[in-house]
Amino acid sequence: MKITTEKLPKSLLSLQIELEKERLERGLDQAARRLSQKYPIHGFRPGKAPRFMIERTFGRDALIEEASDDLINKAFRDALKQEGIAPVGQAALQSVTSNDPFSFTIHIPVQPTVDIGDYRALRAPLDLAEMTDEQLERALDVMRDRHVVLKELDEPRPAQDGDQLKVKLDTIVDGAPLNERSNAEEAPEQTLDLVKGRLVDELYDGMLGANVGDTKEISATMPDDHGNEQVRGKAVVFKVEILSMQERLLPDWEELPTLEEFEGTLEELRAKTRSDLEVAARNAAERKSLDSYVDQLVAQTSYDIPDVMVSELAHELLRDQERQFSRYGITMEQMLQYRGQTHEQAVEALLPDAERQTRITLALREVVGHEGLKISQAELQTELSRLLLDYNESERASVAQTLQTQMLNNVASAALDRKLRERLVAIAVGEAPALEGSVAPAAGATEGAEVEMAEVAVVEPEAAEAEAAEPAVKAVE
């Protein structure tokens, strides 16, 4: 078998395959037997007519046409092994260029070429703000508020700080209600905690001293950083009707550790809360730094990605959406009907997201290879232990068995992902350890990105068998 290869754009490999005459003839013999079984030949039992009779009856071209699919698929598989080619998607038959000798051209998507450049020169510093006492006290107030008890008033009185009010509230912006409704509809009911800092200052001040049954109009100027873009920096009018009032009874501070099921004193709870806030702030800063670094990495990386990789991921993203909606009893057809899309349009809409995710994945895969990141058995066990902390003591034995067998690949991937994130943050802030050796691996170094575990199989045997059973080549329509 003669094979000629040519590299095409978008990581496509063109194979021109020419079969030996003997292989073609064996294929024609098999095709003749199939035709003789399909169509009766006068004087011969089904499947027993000699090839020359089949060829005389149907013609050599018909015989070649019958043999083509089998010849092409078998030759294609042999060519992949002979040339050491690993497709990343389904190959596409371009043309049968000759019947004698039998030759054809096929395009195969292969692993894309990715060049991440000097990724260690990119910077995304941590923007880590210092934890303030005010933030700590606010967090403790929220914690204490979780245990508030509402008490009906012994007798009517004006509203005071700390009360909870049920009101009908209308917010008027530019002369119209913020939330549109028909003229017959009343303003919606809401619950307001009369606590300074939780309400706009003007609304808080205006509600103090009010009584049940009062109707008030309170003018205010909304802050420029308000969470609702519709009212930022604008003058508004609050129309409030007070329906009922309750007293909010907060627990004593000394009770808080017990209520929070915390074994320690209030000061120890305060210290732990500060530590938790600092960890959360650092995690948020690291996520922001990591996002910035990855954006820079993707922007400077050059790619040669086959279209099939992006298309297949777009289909997978749609299947993910289908699985999410199926939890609520919504089928793919219903989902698409609601959106007014065909299946093809839904996939097409996901192509930009799929392309970005593909670019990120390929770039990070290269970083893993360049950095020589691997997961040892000890690190795998650490990850297993960390995951088990999310389960009750009684569940951990069965969960551990599942994680160490059916989901070991997932555990290893999670451990490698954690290690990669830590390394990326270190690179982004200029604190990454020096690479072993004086020169970083060249592009394509993902061969070094491995997990040191003989037990982890990349493809389950059943999956491999199913994959092998699929047609090797997609014919051009």
Is the pLDDT at 459 greater than 60? The verdict is no
Residue 242 and residue 212 in contact, taking contact as beta carbons nearer than 8 Å: yes
Given a cut of 90, whether residue 121 has pLDDT beyond it is yes
Residue 448: predicted pLDDT: 36
What integer is the mean pLDDT of 91-110?
92
Determine what percent of the chain is predicted with pLDDT higher than 90.
65
Same fold for the domain at 2-111 and the one at 151-249? no
Give the list of residues 6+ apart from residue 212 with CB closer than 8 angstroms, or none. Answer: 156, 242, 243, 244, 245
- Torsion, Cα of 397, 402, 404, 406 (10° steps): 170
* pLDDT tens-place string over residues 194-246: 998 889 999 999 999 999 999 999 999 998 888 888 888 899 999 999 999 99
Q: How confident is the model over 416-427, as a mean pLDDT?
A: 95
**185 pLDDT above the threshold of 90:** no
Of 358, 382, 242, nearest in space to 310 by CA = 358
**What topology is assigned to 2-111 in CATH?**
Alpha-Beta Plaits (3.30.70)
Q: Which of 36-40, 180-184, 337-341 has the lowest mean pLDDT?
A: 180-184
User: Residue 363's pLDDT band (boundaries 50, 70, 90)?
Assistant: very high
> Could you tell me the pLDDT band of residue 477, with boundaries at 50, 70 and 90?
very low
pLDDT averaged over every residue in the chain: 87
Full DSSP string of 424-470: HHHHHTT-PPPPSSSSPPPTTGGGG--B--TT--SS-HHHHHHHHHS
pLDDT digits (tens, 9 = 90+) for 375-384: 999 999 999 9
Residue by residue, DSSP assigns 126-195 as ---PPPPHHHHHHHHHHHHHTT-EEEE-SS-----TTEEEEEEEEEEETTEESS---TTSPPPEEEEE--
Residue 469 has pLDDT above 50, yes or no: no
User: What's the angle, vertex CA 184, arms to CA 179 and CA 187, rounded to 5?
Assistant: 40
Q: What is the CATH number of domain 151-249?
A: 3.10.50.40
pLDDT at 437: 64
Give domain limits for the chain: 2-111, 114-147+252-301, 151-249, 305-371, 374-477
Q: What is the pLDDT of residue 60?
A: 87
The confidence score (pLDDT) of residue 441 equals 46
Segment 64-70 mean pLDDT? 90
Cis peptide before 101 (omega within 30 of 0): yes
CA distances from 183 to 155, 176, 332 (A): 36, 12, 39
The two structure tokens encoding residue 411? 């555990």
